[in-house]
Structure formats: structure tokens, C-alpha cells
Structure 1
Amino acid sequence: MPAIEPARRSPDSTDVEALHRLVLQSLDDDQAVDTISIPLAGKSSIADYMVIASGRSTRQVASMAQKLSERIKGETGRPARIEGLPNADWVLIDGGDVIVHLFRPEVRSFYNLERMWSFGDAPAPVVAPN
């Protein structure tokens, strides 16, 4: 079985910020709960941002993931990689510069990624854009 390649990263910081805004806006539009963004630039080479959010049900998590993936491809022309969609308890969307974790609340609480990736700084909740 061939290895899954990670999504491509952009060398342009303007593109990174635009993708980050797109992700946050998409999650806000789809009524994600408790969205946080953790800056990873200079701390990890996997991405510049990690966004974590919850959906109220597996159906909402799956819907948010599919819409976000479509929006990323439409905006950047690059497909986002998705893992975990069939069960939709925890869905990972690899947008290259922005990694998104979508959870059902119980699963999010169990894994507590915010704590693992906070680097000693508690991530602040992201205020939804208007």
C-alpha cells in the first residue's frame, strides 16, 4: 500500500494567513463549537497552524469536514487530505499549512490535543470572524 503524502505547504505567508482565515470562517459558518487556533510556526514543521473544533454530532463533524475540504480545494486548487470521515468521531483535515481536527465533544475531551500542543501557553479561543 503506498504511503499517503502530506498536503503541500505554501512558502508564501500571505497564502498561509488566507488559508487560516478560510478555515476559521468555514468552521464559523458551519457552527463549529469551541474553535481554537494554535500557532505552530517556529515550533513544529508540520504546519503553521493547528485548528481544533467540535461538532455536536458525528453528522455535523462529517459535514463540516467535507465542506471545509471542498472550500480549501476551491480556494487553493490543492486537495486537502481527510482521515477519519467514515466514523466522524475525530476527523483530521490536512490543508498543508493548516491542520484541522474536528471532534465530537466527548472524543475531544478524551484526547485533549489543546493541552498536548499548547507549548506551555494555553491557546485562547478564537473569536469568530464577522
Structure 2
Amino acid sequence: MTDIKKIAIEALEDLKGKDIVAMDVSELSDVMDTLIICTGTSNRQVKSLANNVVEEGKQAGVRPIGVEGLEQGEWVLVDYGDLVVHVMLADVRSFYDLEKLWSMTPASREE
């Protein structure tokens, strides 16, 4: 079986992605198991990092369900279903702080 998580991380490392974080969010989400977040230093690098993830995945026989944000290059999301890759500019990553958001335990609902 193809390990898209390993492929994605190596594709980000190959192009010098910064602060790569892989989070297991399976306990927090019904739609994905792993979230990978990476910082690019410019719009061009963000686009290149995301494209490299897609290309390396394709070479391994895995195609994304979707890719969003390539036009602007501030925040690109590559969706593989169980795995979602976010490549962001530093200020965008800091503003949205996905690591903190996805590390929070959901509040229980009282019925």
C-alpha cells in the first residue's frame, strides 16, 4: 500500500518546506485521519511545494481528490481524503493557527 503521508512529507522536504507538522486528527474528524501543515517562504514556493506533493503522489499512483488555492499561492490545500496537506505562507499559518485549532478537544454536547 502506498504511504501518501510519507510521500507528501518527503515532497515538502525536497523543496525546503518549513516547519512541517503531521497531526493525527482521527479522533477529532470523521473525514480525515492526518493533517500535514507546512510553511512556504513565498507565493511561488507555496505553489511549488503543493505541486510537488501532487506530482510525487501521482508518480506513486495516488491522485488527490482536489487541490484548492493554487492561483493565489497563499494557502494551498491538497486533499487525499484520509490525508489533507496545507501549504501556507507564514503570516497565513500564524493567523489561522491550524495546529491549535486541530489540537482542541471538541466540547461535549448536552442533550
TM-score after normalising by structure 2: 0.86
- For structure 2, list consecutive stretches of 5 or more residues without a partner in the other structure: 106-111
State the distance in 2 between where 1:28 and 1:85 align: 19
> Which structure has the highest strand share of the two?
2
Aligned to 1:126: none
SS in 2 for 1:42: coil
Aligned to 1:58: 43
State which of 86, 90, 111 in structure 1 corresponds to 2:75.
Answer: 90
Q: How many residue pairs are counted as aligned between the two chains?
A: 105
Q: Provide Cα deviations, 1:60-98, integer angstroms capped at 9, x if missing partner.
A: 000111111111122134344110000010000002221
Letter in 2 for 1:40: V
Contact 2:19 2:38 survives alignment (8 Å): yes
State the distance in 2 between where 1:77 and 1:35 align: 21
Given the superposition, is the C-alpha separation of residues 57 and 75 from structure 1 closer, same or farther in structure 2, using an over 3 Å criterion?
same
SS in 2 for 1:63: helix
Contact 2:4 2:62 survives alignment (8 Å): no
Q: In percent, how many aligned pairs have the same letter?
A: 35
Contact 2:36 2:86 survives alignment (8 Å): yes
Q: How does 1:17-32 map to 2 (within 5 A)?
A: 18-32=3-17
1:36 has 2:30 as partner: no
Letter in 2 for 1:106: D
TM-score after normalising by structure 1: 0.74
Contact 2:46 2:73 survives alignment (8 Å): yes
Contact 2:25 2:32 survives alignment (8 Å): yes
Q: Kindly report structure 1 stretches of 4+ aligned residues shifted beyond 4 Å.
A: none
State which of 103, 108, 123 in structure 1 corresponds to 2:93.
Answer: 108
